[in-house]
Amino acid sequence: MWTKQNPLSRAGDLETPRLVTVGERDYRVPMNNAIQLWSALQRMKVPGRLIVFPEENHWVLRGENSRFFYNEIHALLARWFGSATSSQ
């Protein structure tokens, strides 16, 4: 089941910039799967960013981590897909 759900199995089809995040305490998605996916994306030169949250699990719940996480999402969207304020 882990192999079937491993995102690495579909990495060859990915071209869109990615924000890969993982919590070290995530027991739903093992950290090694996220690292493998990130490594594959890097080898294929897919732009993006990897963020590891040492104290988080599957969800980013701590206030400072949550703010950082959503700022990173906003920055990725603005960089690769245009800023919402630039279209106004």
pLDDT of residue 15: 85
How far is it, in rounded angstroms, from Cα 67 to Cα 72? 9
Domain ranges of the chain: 15-80
- Give the count of beta carbons closer than 10 Å to the beta carbon of residue 23: 22
Q: Residue 20: which H helix or E strand, with range?
A: strand 18-23
45 versus 3: which is more confidently predicted?
45
In angstroms, the Cα distances linking 27 to 46, 52, 66 are: 26, 14, 19
Distance CA 64, CA 84 (A): 24
**Stated pTM of the model:** 0.76
**pLDDT tens-digit series, residues 54-82:** 999 999 999 999 999 999 999 999 998 88
Model pLDDT, residue 63: 93
